[in-house]
Amino acid sequence: MNGTHTNGHTNGHINGHTNGHTNGHTNGHTNGHTNGHTNGHTNGYTNGHTNGHTNGHTNGHTNGHTNGYTNGHANGDATKYKNPSLQVTEDHRIKLVDSPIEEPGRGEVILQVKCTGICGSDMHLWKSGRIGSLEVKGDCILGHEAAGVVVKCGEDVTTLKPGDRVGIEPQEPCEQCFLCMEGRYNLCDNVKFSGIWPDNGTIQRFKRHPAKWLYKIP
């Protein structure tokens, strides 16, 4: 799978903390290089564009929040890592960590993340340590706008198989509260959201994710 050229285009409505329209265009060559351009966050409209080439290089441009332009650069020799991950810390640092590769539980898969965007929310979590009431209280892998390939399926996964290319819906709502029951699961208060502490996000090579919240792409 490495060294192959992959092109993924995800397009969807993802509602969670951003509360709006997310449009992600991803383009990937190998692993771990993320180049994100994010524009416009104020009205909940996020446009993510990612491009991947090599390993362990992250470059983020964010426009339109308060300062208009932010440039984050993290560099490390990710080639020696099995699962390089970009983590934010409680004291507003960014670090590259070799994270354990998890096993899929019932109804879950392990994905190889091919591309992931960096959006204004990620920048907020890093620079401010929070988005509203959502606080970074410990190390957490950032990222929530991504596409990948299924590499392993857990028990009872019937909708996906290894090799399937998928767009990732980063939220896992409780499915028990009345908002979830009404179908307005994007407003669920008990949601687990990838990339928001304590739930790890998509800026890592291998991510565990419920099959239910993955969408097959051509």
Number of residues interacting with Zn ion: please give it, by CB under 5 A. 9
CB of 48 to Zn ion, least distance (A): 7
Q: Does residue number 196 form part of the binding site for Zn ion (CB under 5 A)?
A: no
CB 131 within 8 A of CB 122: no
Binds Zn ion (CB under 5 A): choice among 60, 84, 148, 173: 173
Taking CB under 5 A as the binding criterion, the range among 4-12, 124-132, 161-169, 182-190 that sits at the site for Zn ion is 182-190
| Pairing of the two strands 21-28 and 45-52 | parallel
| AA identity, residue 82 | K
Q: Which of 34, 121, 186, 202 binds Zn ion (CB under 5 A)?
A: 121
147 counts as binding Zn ion under rule CB under 5 A: no
Cα separation, 124 vs 177, in Å, equals 28
Shortest Å distance, C-beta 152 to Zn ion: 26
Residues 13-72, interacting with Zn ion (CB under 5 A): 18, 46
Of 57-65, 152-160, 169-177, 204-212: span binding Zn ion (CB under 5 A) = 169-177
Structure tokens, 15: 């509602």
With binding defined as CB under 5 A, does residue 88 bind Zn ion?
no
Question: Which residue is listed with tokens 């990937």?
Answer: 28
* From 97, 151, 174, 187, residue interacting with Zn ion (rule: CB under 5 A): 174
- Which of residues 18 and 55 has its CB atom nearest to Zn ion in the complex? 18
> Dihedral through CA 123, CA 126, CA 128, CA 134, nearest 10?
90
**Residues near 197 by Cβ (< 8 Å), separated by ≥ 6?**
88, 125, 134, 135, 136, 137, 138, 140
Alpha carbon distance 133, 150 (integer Å): 33
Q: Does 131 help bind Zn ion (rule: CB under 5 A)?
A: no
Smallest gap, in angstroms, from Cβ of residue 131 to Zn ion?
Answer: 10
- What separation in angstroms does the CA of 6 have from each of 57, 81, 113, 211? 18, 21, 11, 21
Q: How far apart are CA 192 and CA 91, in angstroms?
A: 22
Residue 129: CB minimum distance to Zn ion, A: 16
Q: Quick check: 180 binds Zn ion (CB under 5 A)?
A: yes
Q: Which residues bind Zn ion (CB under 5 A)?
A: 18, 46, 119, 121, 173-174, 177, 180, 188
